[in-house]
Chains A and B, each alone.
Chain A
Amino acid sequence: MKKILIRHESFLAFAIILFSIIITLINPSFFTLENFFDLLKSFSLTGTFAIGMLFVLISGGIDLSFTAIATVSGYTIAVLLLNMGDRLNIFLIFLIAGVIGVSLGILNGAIIDLFKIPSMITTIATSNIFYGLLTVITKGKWLYGFPTWFGDFAQIRVITVRTAEGWPYGLSIITLIWIVLLLAAWFILKFTVLGRSIYAMGSSPVSAQRAGFNLRRLHLFVYGFMGLMAGFGSVIQALLVQTVAPNSLVGKEMDVIAAVVLGGASLTGGTGTVLGALLGVTLLGILGNGMTLMHVPSLWYKVIIGVVILVSVSFTAYRRKQSIRKRVITE
């Protein structure tokens, strides 16, 4: 299985390289440092959500409420920024968004664990509750006009390069935040007992319980972590577009799930890696960017994404069947 997974990741990497070559052949501006930095920045929102979703999928669950959670935390920080923006700083903003995200996530985890309601059902219900109540309270207003420091922060470049014409570009701080989150997630999953316990629980909940794992704690952690990523994602979204709208994220759950599943995470739990999720986000992101650069009408974007998902899922199913067949013969 591990070998298959590694192969899965190399297949993805291969597909990404192939697409990159094709796009570059048609429009060389794809393969430039400037576009590379832009791409990374544009991945950071889906990428952050994908980290949380990865944890949930590995644990054997699913979360359809993270966009609603992100909307709630995004709205809260937007209101705070508008009313007392001068007394806040970026750390406080991340902290507040994170706390809101974690609280709502833990609420999901608690319902799932206490009442044994399937995670999909629980999160569909809570998603309606979070999103419905938020929209009632806020009346669906768009919020914009944040303090200048908030806009300035989004423009910070960690590495700055200049184009031939002298325009500056480079690695955005937003990308850096995402990369830090990726590394943290990778460390948790790979090198902590907590991370390995999540794999163990997703792999076999019964065995995990017998082995003395605290499943309640794991559930609370996983959904709380998804909430944290949703909260951070909402800040990233606010930084990227400098507006907060109640309906800009809800309905995008499936895009994130598709990216993570493309990256090799299984809906039955126990499998998935940060690298895979990163590659899944990259593949879907590059397709979008590439189509723009190749002057494919944006109308076709979804058709192609749909085909890519279907082909990739079929391919995975086909390979699984082959490997089962092979094993039967060799035994």
Chain B
Amino acid sequence: MTRKFSQIHVLLIVMVVVILTMWILTGSDFLNPGNFQSMAYQMPELGILTLAMMIPMLTAGINLSIIATANLSGIVMALILTSETSLQASGWQSILIVAGAILVGFIIAALIGAINGYFIAYLELPPILASLGMMVMLNGISIVITQGYVISGFPDAMLEIGSADILGIPVPFLLLLICAGIVSLVLNWTPTGTRIYMIGSNPIACFYSGVNNKNVLLRTYMLSGILSGVAAVVMTSRFNSAKADYGESYLLLTVLASVLGGVSASGGFGKVSGVLISLIILQMVSSGLNLMGISNFLTLALWGFILLLVMIIKFLIEKYQQKRH
């Protein structure tokens, strides 16, 4: 209990420090509404993928194939969207085709998730290896389908998703909030969610308590797959294209964002709220440095540094608490 408590506190302090630093360094630019809106456009890609990474991590697993899943399902959506009929369609027809394409993309993402889940839950492969193999294979399939090229040029309805806003809130950000809401609902308010946490801590005791571990793991990886599919919608519509290797550098960053948000690397602990705060911190560092005209790569370095810092502070707090007892 105290463990999670301290990490959220540390995160909030880090967030305040980041806001203050950026404010001082960039002046009013940082607190400008326009900056917040642009942050809200940028955050969802990494954000939704991080949710997709977080859920398997709670079961003490990992899903290295989230990006590859997103790319493949994005490519399939793109293939449908760039077909003759969909480009010639207009009005409602066009919207229906876009919706259909997204649905097909989701089904594929869910299917890939289910296959991952089958390998991990039923064949009992180590998650890191099963999803690594899956990542390489999916990536290969994407390359074969696209011949390594970019697929681009979508109907307007698709592009709207990435660029429109509702009441000033960008649609991608709304999608992130919806995903976070659903994940939070599943984790906190469904039997499956409770089981996910319990399996992450001790699968054997869950098995002896009549929990259908295999089924729970299968659902976990399916959910992770579907979230990758949502990320695919955001990515393809924002880039107006799909490709086999988009966003590959995000993979380990999703692990970074999850752990920074308090997800335990050994499973069983972690909350959506923590992950959201972690995403906000990371995005603010990135946008702030961007405003100052500093290279994106310094952002990467700072992200790594913040993660280490938070983990070290957490370690020291725990050590101090142990000493007091």
State which of A96-104, A110-118, A192-200 sits at the interface with chain B. A110-118
Once A115-B312, A133-B301 are accepted as A-B contacts, the answer to whether A121 and B259 lie under 8 Å apart by CB is: yes
Asked if B298 is at the interface (CB within 8 A of a chain A CB), the reply is yes
List A residues 303-331 near B (Cβ within 8 Å). Answer: 303-307, 309-310, 313-314, 317-318, 321
State which of B36-44, B215-223, B302-310 sits at the interface with chain A. B302-310
Q: Separation in Å of the A280 CB from the closest CB of chain B?
A: 12
- Within the assembled complex, what's the spacing in Å between the Cα atoms of A190 and B141? 41
CB of B300 within 8 A of CB of A309, answer no
- Within the assembled complex, what's the spacing in Å between the Cα atoms of A299 and B149? 11
- Within the assembled complex, what's the spacing in Å between the Cα atoms of A310 and B300? 31
CB of A135 within 8 A of CB of B311, answer no
Q: Which residues from chain B contact A307 at a C-beta distance below 8 Å?
A: 133, 137
Once A117-B311, A306-B136 are accepted as A-B contacts, the answer to whether A313 and B304 lie under 8 Å apart by CB is: no
CB of A306 within 8 A of CB of B134, answer yes
Asked if B160 is at the interface (CB within 8 A of a chain A CB), the reply is no
Q: Which residues from chain A contact B302 at a C-beta distance below 8 Å?
A: 132
CB of A300 within 8 A of CB of B144, answer yes
CB of B130 within 8 A of CB of A306, answer no
Closest A residue to B68 by beta carbon equals A306
Question: Taking each of A125, A257, A267, which has the highest tally of chain B beta carbons within 10 Å of its own beta carbon?
Answer: A125
Closest B residue to A134 by beta carbon equals B297
Quick one: CB contact mask for B91-103 with A, threshold 8 Å, 1 for yes? 0000000000000
- Within the assembled complex, what's the spacing in Å between the Cα atoms of A64 and B251? 12
Of the residues B125, B135, B265, contact of A121 by C-beta under 8 Å = B265
Once A132-B298, A257-B132 are accepted as A-B contacts, the answer to whether A302 and B140 lie under 8 Å apart by CB is: yes
Q: Which residues from chain B contact A303 at a C-beta distance below 8 Å?
A: 137, 140-141, 143-144
Q: Which residues from chain A contact B266 at a C-beta distance below 8 Å?
A: 118
Once A116-B315, A261-B129, A306-B134 are accepted as A-B contacts, the answer to whether A128 and B144 lie under 8 Å apart by CB is: no
Q: What secondary structure prevails in chain A residues at the interface with B?
A: helix
Q: How large is the interface on B (under 10, 10 to 19, 20 to 34, 35 or more residues)?
A: 35 or more
- Within the assembled complex, what's the spacing in Å between the Cα atoms of A302 and B252? 20
CB of A136 within 8 A of CB of B301, answer yes
Once A111-B308, A317-B125, A321-B124 are accepted as A-B contacts, the answer to whether A254 and B301 lie under 8 Å apart by CB is: no
Asked if B209 is at the interface (CB within 8 A of a chain A CB), the reply is no
CB of A309 within 8 A of CB of B133, answer yes
Once A132-B298, A132-B299, A136-B298 are accepted as A-B contacts, the answer to whether A258 and B126 lie under 8 Å apart by CB is: no
Closest B residue to A268 by beta carbon equals B126
Quick one: CB contact mask for B101-145 with A, threshold 8 Å, 1 for yes? 000000000000000000100011110111011111111110110
Once A132-B300, A132-B302, A136-B295 are accepted as A-B contacts, the answer to whether A115 and B132 lie under 8 Å apart by CB is: no
- Within the assembled complex, what's the spacing in Å between the Cα atoms of A164 and B52? 57
Q: Separation in Å of the A285 CB from the closest CB of chain B?
A: 15
Once A251-B249, A299-B147, A313-B126 are accepted as A-B contacts, the answer to whether A121 and B255 lie under 8 Å apart by CB is: yes
CB of A310 within 8 A of CB of B305, answer no
Asked if A301 is at the interface (CB within 8 A of a chain B CB), the reply is yes
CB of A314 within 8 A of CB of B119, answer yes
Chain A: interface residue total (CB-CB under 8 A): 45
CB of B297 within 8 A of CB of A314, answer no
Q: Which residues from chain B contact A133 at a C-beta distance below 8 Å?
A: 297-298, 301
- Within the assembled complex, what's the spacing in Å between the Cα atoms of A126 and B139? 26
- Within the assembled complex, what's the spacing in Å between the Cα atoms of A41 and B130? 30
Quick one: CB contact mask for B283-325 with A, threshold 8 Å, 1 for yes? 0000000000011011111111101100110010000000000
Q: Which residues from chain B contact A139 at a C-beta distance below 8 Å?
A: 295
Once A135-B297, A306-B135 are accepted as A-B contacts, the answer to whether A128 and B140 lie under 8 Å apart by CB is: no
Of the residues A128, A136, A300, contact of B256 by C-beta under 8 Å = A128
Closest A residue to B256 by beta carbon equals A124
CB of B315 within 8 A of CB of A117, answer yes
Asked if A127 is at the interface (CB within 8 A of a chain B CB), the reply is yes
- Within the assembled complex, what's the spacing in Å between the Cα atoms of A257 and B132? 10
Of the residues A135, A258, A304, A313, contact of B295 by C-beta under 8 Å = A135
Of the residues B141, B248, B304, contact of A128 by C-beta under 8 Å = B304
CB of A125 within 8 A of CB of B295, answer no
CB of A254 within 8 A of CB of B64, answer yes
Asked if A25 is at the interface (CB within 8 A of a chain B CB), the reply is no
Asked if A232 is at the interface (CB within 8 A of a chain B CB), the reply is no
Q: Which residues from chain A contact B147 at a C-beta distance below 8 Å?
A: 299
- Within the assembled complex, what's the spacing in Å between the Cα atoms of A139 and B312? 30
Once A116-B315, A136-B297, A314-B119 are accepted as A-B contacts, the answer to whether A267 and B128 lie under 8 Å apart by CB is: yes
CB of A115 within 8 A of CB of B301, answer no
Once A132-B304, A302-B140, A310-B134 are accepted as A-B contacts, the answer to whether A117 and B297 lie under 8 Å apart by CB is: no
Asked if A122 is at the interface (CB within 8 A of a chain B CB), the reply is yes
Once A117-B315, A125-B308, A314-B123 are accepted as A-B contacts, the answer to whether A299 and B148 lie under 8 Å apart by CB is: yes
Q: Separation in Å of the A105 CB from the closest CB of chain B?
A: 16
- Within the assembled complex, what's the spacing in Å between the Cα atoms of A111 and B304? 13
Q: Separation in Å of the B257 CB from the closest CB of chain A?
A: 10
Q: Which residues from chain A contact B300 at a C-beta distance below 8 Å?
A: 128-129, 131-132, 135
Q: Separation in Å of the A61 CB from the closest CB of chain B?
A: 12
CB of A126 within 8 A of CB of B308, answer yes
Asked if A120 is at the interface (CB within 8 A of a chain B CB), the reply is yes
Once A117-B311, A121-B259, A125-B308 are accepted as A-B contacts, the answer to whether A267 and B126 lie under 8 Å apart by CB is: yes
CB of A310 within 8 A of CB of B315, answer no
Q: Which residues from chain A contact B307 at a C-beta distance below 8 Å?
A: 121, 124-125, 128
- Within the assembled complex, what's the spacing in Å between the Cα atoms of A251 and B128? 16
17 contacts between A and B (CB under 8 A): A115-B311, A115-B312, A118-B266, A121-B255, A121-B311, A128-B256, A128-B303, A132-B298, A132-B302, A132-B304, A135-B297, A254-B136, A258-B132, A300-B144, A309-B136, A314-B119, A317-B123
Known A127-B304, A129-B300, A140-B297; 7 more pairs at CB < 8 Å:
A124-B304, A131-B297, A258-B136, A261-B129, A299-B143, A307-B133, A313-B133
